[in-house]
Amino acid sequence: MAGLELLSDQGYRLDGRKATELRKVQARMGVFAQADGSAYIEQGNTKALAVVYGPHEVRMSRSKTLHDRAVINCQYSMATFSTAERKRRPHGDRKSTEMSLHLKQTFEAAVLTNLYPRSQIDIYVKILQSDGGNYSACVNAATLAVIDAGIPMRDYVCACTAGFVDETPLADLCHAEESGGGTSLALALLPRGGHIALLQMDARLHQDHLETLMEAAMTACKGVSKVLDQVVRQHLQEVSALTGE
Amino acid sequence: MIKTEKVLHLKSSRGRKVRVVREHYLRELVPCYSSLCQAECANEGKVLSADVTHYVVPDAGVTRDFMEILEFREIQGLVFTQTACQAVQHSRGRRQYNRLRSLLKDPRHDCVLFANEFQEYSYCPREKGEPQDKWQTRCVYQAAVWYHDHLAGLKPVVMITEDQGAVAEYSSLNCGVYVLSTLEYLRTFWPELQAAHELYGSIAQALRERGNEGTEREFAEHLPAEVLEAGIKSGRYTQGTLNVNKHRAQHEAFVRFDGSSNKNSELDSDVLVWGGKNRNRAVHGDMVAVELLPKGEWRGRTTALTEGQGEEKGEESQGQPMPTGRVVGILQRNWRDYVVTFPPREETQSQGRNSLRILATPWDQRIPKIRISTHQADTLQDHRVIVRLDSWDSTSLYPNGHSVRVLGRAGELETEVQTILIENCIHIAPFSEAQLREMPASSPERPWTVDPAEVVTRRDLRDTHLVFSIDPRGCEDVDDTLSVRSLPPGPQGPRLELGVHIADVTHFVKEGTLTDLEARARATTYYLADRRYDMLPAVLSADVCSLLGGVDRYAMSVMWDLDAQTLQVNRVWYGRTLIRSSYQLYYEQAQALLNGEEAEVPELAQLPPEERDHKLSHLIEALETLTQVARHLRAQRDQGGALELEGVEVRAQLDEDKNITALVPRQPLEVHETVAECMIYANHWVARKIQERFPQQALLRHHPPPRQEFFTQLQDSARALGFTIDTRSNKALADSLDQAVDPQDPLVNRLLRVMATQAMSNALYFSTGACPVDQYYHYGLALDRYTHFTSPIRRYADVIVHRLLTAAIAVEEGARPAKASASNKELEEMAQHINNKNRAAQHAQKVSMELFQCLYFRDKDPETAECCDAVIYAIRTNGVLVFIPQYGLKGALYLRNREGQVVRVSQDGRCVWEAGSLQRSLDHVSTTTASGTSTFRLFQHVTVRVSVQTSRCHADTLHLELVSNRAHRAPEPPDRTPRAAPPQGTRGRSQLVQEVVRQAEEALLQAEEKKGRVSELSKEEREFRQSKTPNLYSLLEEVREQALLDLTACGAVGGGPDLGTAARPCATSA
């Protein structure tokens, strides 16, 4: 179809949101008892599950051991049923390797790794349903899982995407918007200090617009962080109620 | 917000069905855009007025099929639903959707869009198994009910639908919400809107007919859009615009690529689409996808001249085989309104069984005949009617259409002029009451005066500067004035101050007002041969904005502080001013003053002699300084490579009966050029200013360098005479053109310049953000930045530039601009719009000129018809192209007629038709018959007779006939002699100006004569820089029509190394 209208003249997006509105975010922590930390998040129709093991001693190969801090090991995968067309997704294909690497970089910037020398932290993330913004859902899920595991971080890492259509920045793109052409920028932010943990964009964008786009992405990330914070607090309340006083 | 989900079934790229789940967010607060809103919706922008009897909500089917009816401005209180809009977008494509969007944006039309699918209570999810159209109707009904309830029942809401089931089902469900069919609605509420009723009948008829088509397949089916898209991406198909050859509309069409989309690098030329089957229902202008045929089936383009249609014979001379293809699908229809002529009764009846369907012939030869279903065939015979195309199925040989409006009987002047306007997509309604109400009041008894509050904010030049204007005699809309004075000497020596003061139109036409919207839609003043359509209402263009002599007026000024000797710019000042023009001069008068001759200056007539002499010397001094400065500026540009181009010059005068009675050559004066030069200078400096201030969104004008291949004809022709033309740069071209002078025949240089002009592309407006900096260059004027600033009264581009300049000044003074200026994208769209309108205006002007030429020649007796001198300027296989300097006409001269006979020139120079053969070479063509051989060379003078070929359905054309191979030696009217002077020195230089002047002037002159008033000439001088544009364009058009340019030039593009020889191989035909 020749070009969906991503932003109508009245300022509505395809799914009825306005330019700066996020999709609905729902999350739960501690979904698996077996793991050290786990979390499940839904950002609109994108659903991700994150599991954290560690810190534990380095199991991969001894040579990877770092003597001043912990190694972070990330693995990203997508379920075969996560997209509209069922498709086998082998481990270690280029896309997921790249995504794993991005996650690793993001969390190396956020986790206080130097507290755990010579150890390893494993973060496994799986996309259960994909509808745009896979990276940001993974980061947000992993943040919750890391918190659930009790591993100290500098701050929440909140991620969100932003796109640019008709000179207007759009927050939190869905799949139709991501694939409809145009720019998409993914940003992982440590919201309290405003530090950027990761910034990724692989389409062309005029330099003049970069600032407005980043601004929009940052605002969106801060919005996500509020939701996450609420989830964490609620989870703590529940847990403390269960364990009794 | 509430999140729901929508399940869609879509097709994947591989054609499999996929279930897609999309989120869908609903909210409670969706603005209703009605001024009656009780719930305080955030209604921004356009709102529905409260003073209508009801609101009307069309459903998806009505919006899709009957949008033309909804476009009537009388129908008010329209609420379009999102559901309906999306249905239009899906089923009718982007063009129709954009039309709907612009309708929604148009503040003159009382309609709004209600986003019903995002409203919590008006959204209804589609049920399992529910057909799409049922669901859409239900959604629209739900929206109508919500709308009614939202307004607390203050207005009845009418939903219109074509679905009788829906009428029955819903009409009694809610009180206050009525469901009617379209016909019933029109009958009930608009019984007096006759045009809408007719249009409804015509569309409904066309829709019905479409249902019962035959099943025999005439064309291959078009491929579905996904396949086309994939094919284009993979390079299997190529995407481009279909151009039908006007002279072989049945057979030959070319697909021209839009630069970027063409990945196939070996394919840098056009693709030929030969024959109706291969064209597969594409119409001229459509965006199509073509598939190349195997090389064995490639054909060349036809290079012979054709006389009308029907003489396509077996023996066709073809050029080199070029890529040939067939249309596999249509990406975007580009249908507009077409003018057709209904056939007379005899033909209708012979058409057989179904006399309801008429095949009407479009005025534009490139468009196929259109089948129209109508009951009015009898009353409409030989009338010209506006028609819209509806569909073209693979089972039908012709497209289906419906009639929209009757223009009148074919052949009547008014009908023909309307036809020209419609065919160029020019829609002009008189200025409305509301627009005129925005205008400042000014009448002869109570003239408009300046506002004291404005005086404070403007720089007052009334007492300090000698301001004067130079225009054609009798000009009413003066939009530029000049001033020059010396300043106290600075550190570098004496200084001069040169000022250009332009009418401050933007002070009166504020952005977004009705007048502004109207002016934007028109984009330019349209000049036809016998009338003109103004961009702004007369009160502005001829009075309040016009910088008339002796009255206070607002102006936008550019003033340069120059070094008196070197003309180095020390400082430039831009700003709003208040001026009083002291002298309103005309060209001849100004030139006379400069030459030291006696000239009457009416402004000084009343004064005592000493004072008069003093003032006069003051004025003359100013004029002289100005001339000095202009010479200097011109010399600077000449060094940069500015071109002098030549158009076909003809200025026709009309008498009361609108016949061309005389051809008046313009006496070119240096003062024309002086004024032109100052305007170019002002435009250039304004361009610099706005581009510096708004590097991403300034409106500039560029003239791209021509493609070298287009110069082939020029170079070949020049070589035939022993001249070489260097086309590597504009400077080289200008120099070599100056040298290519044949002392015996001054026309040679003129024709060479005409050919150089033909090779040029058009100058275009663009937004600086849309183009890399190195493409800002103006080739013809040799300036790195250029824009239009000096004629805001008749060009909308200048109005935009004025606004940009004002904003730039405001920003510099530290003020925050009140409103963000248009973004790059909006500006680029605007630039495209203005370019298109300008093109349409020029084309309309040219066609109307031709119309009058035909009228002129038609009135002459064909036997005694005037013979005139013509010059051969190009050679074709079966004839030559000639230029008639006396009338500025160009045309084809056939040396072989339909019977295959060729022209032989007998001893006394008479010409006779005899059987024989035709031999063509690069610089001459010769005919051989039993009794001898005659040769026609390039640039040879011959005598031709002009007659008119009338045509019922199309425009009349001129026909040329060879009378003798010698130059015509009729007693030349004395006024023609100056034309023959060699174009050198000042004369050559002023041709540029002269030609510009000519254009507008002739139009105005005629308009004025028509009204029987004393002359009200135009101001076109300011036009110069683009002055060339109208001509460039019209020349290109002309050439294209004669199938010249697209033969040689395009052939050249495709031919690669054989550029120059594209046309040669066909010489042996016959």
CB within 8 Å: A176 and B5: no
Q: Flag if A2 and B225 touch (Cβ within 8 Å).
A: yes
Q: What is the DSSP letter of B542?
A: I
Could you read off the pLDDT of B414-432 as tens digits, one per residue? 888 888 888 888 888 788 8
Chain B positions touching A166 (Cβ under 8 A) are 825
- What is the number of residues in chain B? 1070
DSSP B415-429: HHHHHHHHHTT----
Are B26 and A16 inside 8 Å of each other by CB?
yes
Interaxial angle between packed helices B670-693 and B796-812, expressed in degrees from 0 to 180 and rounded to the nearest 10: 50
Strands (DSSP E) found in B78-166: 78-81, 111-114, 157-161
Q: What is the 3-state secondary structure (H, E, C) of B618-647?
A: HHHHHHHHHHHHHHHHHHHHHHHCCCCCCC
What would the 3-class secondary structure string for B648-693 be? Answer: CCCCEEECCCCCEEEECCCCCCHHHHHHHHHHHHHHHHHHHHHHHH
Residue-by-residue DSSP string for B466-531: -EEEEESTT-----EEEEEEEEEEETTEEEEEEEEEEE-HHHHS-TTSHHHHHHHHH-B-EE-SS-
CB contacts, 8 Å: B31 with chain A: 10
Residue in B25, B331, B696 closest to A16 by CB: B25
Burial-class residue B610 by CB neighbours within 10 Å (0-12, 13-18, 19+). exposed
CA distance B396 to B393: 6
Token couple for B395: 């089972």
pLDDT of res. B258: 62
CA B230 vs CA B236, B237, B618: distances in Å: 9, 9, 73
Note the pLDDT tens digit of each residue in B771-814.
888 888 888 888 888 999 988 988 999 999 999 898 888 888 87
> Could you report the per-residue pLDDT of B38-52, keeping only the tens digit for each?
777 777 777 888 888
Q: Of A204, A85, A212, A107, which Cα lies nearest the Cα of A158?
A: A107
Looking at per-residue pLDDT, the higher value among A107 and B749 belongs to: A107
**Sequence-distant (≥ 6) Cβ neighbours of residue B302 within 8 angstroms:** B248, B252, B316, B317, B318, B319
CATH superfamily to which B2-192 belongs? 5'-nuclease (3.40.50.1010)
pLDDT in tens, B923-982: 777 777 777 777 777 777 888 877 777 777 777 777 777 777 666 654 433 333 333 333
ipTM score assigned to the predicted complex: 0.89
Token reading at B118: 């995002």
Interface of A with B in 154-193 (CB under 8 A): 166-167, 174, 176
Is the Cβ of A24 closer than 8 Å to some Cβ of chain B? Answer: yes
CB-side exposure of B471: number of CA atoms within 13 Å?
29
Confirm or reject contact between A12 and chain B (CB < 8 A). Answer: yes
Interface of A with B in 126-155 (CB under 8 A): 131
Residues B899, B569: Cα–Cα separation, whole Å: 69
Chain A residues with CB-CB distance to B26 below 8 A: 16
Place of tokens 């610089």: B923
Confidence class for position B316, pLDDT limits 50, 70, 90: very low
Strand-pair category, A119-129 with B932-937: unpaired
Mutate to test the interface with A, among B3, B106, B287 (most CBs of A within 10 A): B3
Contact B1 A166 (CB under 8 A): no
* Residue B1014 pLDDT > 70: no
pLDDT tens sequence across A66-112: 889 999 999 999 998 888 888 777 777 898 999 999 999 999 999 99
Give the B window 299-358 contacts with A, CB below 8 Å. Answer: 331-332
Cβ contact, residue pair A17, B25, below 8 Å? yes
Of B347-351, B491-495, B820-824, give the lowest mean pLDDT range: B347-351
The pLDDT assigned to B798 comes to 92
Residue B471, amino acid: D
Q: Which residues pair with B663 in a beta bridge?
A: B652
Which chain B residues have a beta carbon less than 8 Å from that of A2?
A: 93-94, 225, 229, 331-332
Interchain proximity B22–A176, CB inside 8 Å: yes
**Does position B1040 have pLDDT exceeding 60, yes or no?**
no
- pLDDT value, residue B1038: 52
Interface check B820 vs A, CB under 8 A:
no
CB B543 within 8 A of CB B443: no
pLDDT confidence of residue B1058: 34
A23-44 pLDDT, tens digit per residue, is 999 999 999 999 999 999 999 9
Q: How many helices (H) and strands (E) does chain A have?
A: 4, 9
Fold designation for B225-304+320-407: OB fold (Dihydrolipoamide Acetyltransferase, E2P) (2.40.50)
Fold identical between B225-304+320-407 and B860-964?
Answer: yes
pLDDT per residue as tens digits for the range B148-159: 888 888 888 899
Write down the domain spans for chain B.
2-192, 225-304+320-407, 860-964
Q: Which of B666, B664, B655, B662 is nearest to B1006 (CA)?
A: B655
Six-digit token pair at B992? 């540029």
* Residues linked to residue B111 through DSSP beta bridges, in sequence order: B78
How close are the terminal C-alpha atoms of chain B, in Å? Answer: 78
Higher-pLDDT residue of B515, B887: B515
A26: nearest CA partner in chain B = B3
> Which two three-digit tokens encode residue A67?
């003597």
User: Contact B89/A5, CB-based, under 8 Å?
Assistant: yes
For β-strands A119-129 and A71-78, DSSP reports them as: parallel
Contact of A170 with A162, CB cutoff 8 Å? yes
The class that CATH gives domain B860-964 is mainly beta
A21 touches chain B (CB under 8 A): yes
**d(CA A47, nearest CA chain B) in Å:** 13
Phi, psi of B984 (to 5 degrees): -130, 175
Which among A12, A17, A84 has the least Cβ separation from residue B19?
Answer: A84
For B1032, the 3-state DSSP assignment is helix
Summarised one tens digit per residue, pLDDT across range A138-170 is 999 999 999 999 999 999 999 999 999 888 899
User: B390 pLDDT exceeds 90?
Assistant: no
Cβ contact, residue pair A174, B23, below 8 Å: yes
d(CA B827, CA B834): 10
Residues of A in contact with B1 (CB under 8 A): 16-17, 21, 24
CB B1045 within 8 A of CB B873: no
C-alpha dist (Å) from residue A165 to A169, A170, A181, A215, B825: 6, 7, 9, 15, 11
* Residue B181, token pair as written in the block: 């069919």
Q: Taking CB atoms and an 8 Å limit, are A44 and B26 in contact across chains?
A: no
Cβ–Cβ of B18/A84 closer than 8 Å? yes
Can you list the positions of beta strands (E) in B536-619?
552-563, 569-580, 583-586
- Give the per-residue pLDDT at B546: 87
Structure confidence by residue, pLDDT tens digits, B820-862:
667 788 888 889 899 989 988 888 888 887 887 777 777 665 5
Neighbours of B687 (CB within 10 A): 28
A84 in contact with chain B, both atoms CB, cutoff 8 A: yes
A234 touches chain B (CB under 8 A): no
Give yes or no for a contact between B148 and B158, defined as CB atoms under 8 angstroms apart.
no
Query: How crowded is residue A145: how many other Cβ atoms within 10 Å of its Cβ?
Result: 29
pLDDT given at position B356: 66
Closest Cα in chain B, distance from residue A16 (Å): 5
Structure-token match 């030039």, residue found:
B1049
Cα–Cα distance, B139 to B59 (Å, whole number): 9
Least CB–CB distance from B23: residue in A12, A15, A85: A15
| Prediction pTM value | 0.65
Phi, psi angles (nearest 5°) of residue B929 = -130, 180
pLDDT tens-place string over residues B17-44: 778 888 888 888 888 888 888 777 777 7
CA distance B256 to chain A (A): 20
Task: Decide: helix, strand or coil at residue B948.
Answer: strand
Interface of A with B in 89-118 (CB under 8 A): none
CA distance B1029 to A10: 39
Work out the end-to-end distance of chain A between its first and last CA atoms, rounded to an integer number of angstroms: 59
- In this complex, the residue of A5, A12, A45 whose CB is nearest that of residue B23 is A45
Q: Which chain B residue has its CA at the smallest distance from A3's CA?
A: B94
B551 vs A: CB within 8 A: no
Q: Closest-CA residue in chain B for A45?
A: B23
Number of residues in chain A: 245
Chain A residues lying within 8 Å of B5, measured CB to CB: 45
What local confidence, expressed as pLDDT, does residue B995 receive?
43
Taking the Cβ of residue B696 and every Cβ of chain A, the question of whether any pair is shorter than 8 Å is answered with yes
A with B: how many residue pairs have Cβ under 8 Å apart?
66
Q: State the DSSP H helix or E strand holding residue A241, giving kind and residue range, or none if neither.
A: helix A207-243
Least confident stretch, B242-251, B751-760, B1007-1016: B1007-1016
Q: Measure the CA–CA gap between A175 and B20, rounded to whole angstroms.
A: 11
SS3 B762: coil
Residue B117, chain A, CB below 8 Å: the answer is yes
Cβ neighbours around B221 below 10 Å, total: 12
Q: A63 falls in which pLDDT band (50, 70, 90)?
A: confident
Please give the backbone phi and psi of residue B351, each rounded to the nearest 5 degrees, phi first.
-75, -10
Whether residue B1 and residue A176 make contact (CB cut-off 8 A), yes or no, is no
| Pairwise CB contact (< 8 Å): B22 & A12 | no
CA distance A192 to chain B (A): 27
How many other CB atoms sit within 10 Å of the CB of residue B845? 24
- Reply yes or no on whether the pLDDT at B911 is more than 70: yes
Which residues pair with residue B252 across a beta bridge?
Answer: B274
Q: Report the run of H or E that residue B255 belongs to, with start and end.
A: strand B252-257
- Which has more pLDDT, B346 or B301? B301
User: Considering only alpha carbons, which residue of chain A is nearest residue B112?
Assistant: A10
- The arithmetic mean of pLDDT across residues B722-728, rounded, is 80
Choose among A2, A24, A166: nearest Cβ to B94: A2
d(CA B759, CA B715): 11
